[in-house]
Amino acid sequence: MVLQVKELTKRKDTGDHLFYDVTFSLHPGDTLAVRGPSGVGKTTLLRCLAQLTPYDAGVCTLMTPKPTTPQDLGVPQWRASVMYVPQRPAQLPGTPLEFFDQVTGFRAQQGRAHYDPVEIAEDWGVSDELWHKKWPELSGGEQQRVALAVALACDPKVLLLDEPTSALDPATTLMVEQALAGRTCVWITHDDAQEKRIATKSLTIHADATYSITEH
Ligand SMILES: Nc1ncnc2c1ncn2[C@@H]1O[C@H](COP(=O)(O)OP(=O)(O)OP(=O)(O)O)[C@@H](O)[C@H]1O
């Protein structure tokens, strides 16, 4: 097992539950598709798993090599292992290559092996020169592929992917899915066909804040 999540609970500002007691585990190579209507809490769940958003109860544990919580590891190290990739990179300053240098310069990344993000993204039709442009000069689909390539280059244990192919054409979507095959992922998707292709299990958050898990 790579990641175990037990009874994760998050309330809205109103006090109502967004989701509660969410419990699942991921084995190496599992992809958990996260489903549910807009606004139900899918992004918030991923951000809780990455320790970017505080939650009200529950425990997240990385199981390799031994059970380790974010508190044991320290949040920066946790985020290097359980990495969140936003749907759209925020309006970051500088260029993607500067961003990669900055990410790999973080103390939590030091001593870790890194792959070449330029090479990874090249396979998805991202040309070298895009890495030297300012982020706002990249299209939505280019930003998405570049951000994903940066995450893959950091080789985290778990990837938390927020609709990673929402701005991509069908052929590029399939290439990205193939590149992610075998990775351990939590992957938000609104696309039934994509869920069928990528998911080993699915977690659906319902409008009443309950959830269900389906094994495929
Ligand atoms: N920073 C924030 N502060 C307060 N409330 C927020 C914040 N971000 C999201 N929310 C609220 O939390 C709820 C869940 O939002 P979230 O983005 O997690 O939903 P989602 O299922 O990912 O939606 P979508 O499918 O539209 O991306 C929504 O009611 C949203 O308005």
Query: Which residues share a beta bridge with 10?
Result: 19
Cα 29 to ligand 1 centre (Å):
28
Sign of the four-CA dihedral 213, 182, 9, 190: negative
The pLDDT value given to residue 24: 98
Q: How far apart are CA 207 and CA 210, in angstroms?
A: 7
- Smallest Cα–Cα separation from 213: which of 90, 10, 11, 30? 30
Cα 17 to ligand 1 centre (Å):
13
Regarding the beta carbon of 41 and ligand 1, being less than 6 Å apart is answered: yes
ipTM for the assembly = 0.93
Share of the chain above pLDDT 90, in %: 89
Query: pTM here?
Result: 0.95
Give the strand order in the sheet containing 3-11: 17-26, 3-11, 57-62
CATH of the domain at 122: 3.40.50.300
Give the SS3 label for residue 155. coil
Ligand 1, atom 31: closest residue by C-alpha: 39
67-83 pLDDT, tens digit each: 999 999 999 999 999 99
Q: How far apart are CA 202 and CA 216, in angstroms?
A: 8
Q: Does residue 122 have a pLDDT over 90?
A: yes
The tokens for 154 are 């950091």
What range does the domain containing 35 cover? 3-215
- Read off the pLDDT of each residue in 86-101 and give the average, rounded to a whole number: 86
Mean pLDDT is highest, among 82-91, 102-111, 132-141, for 132-141
Count of domains in the chain?
Answer: 1
Ligand 1, atom 18: closest residue by C-alpha: 41
Ligand 1, atom 3: closest residue by C-alpha: 13
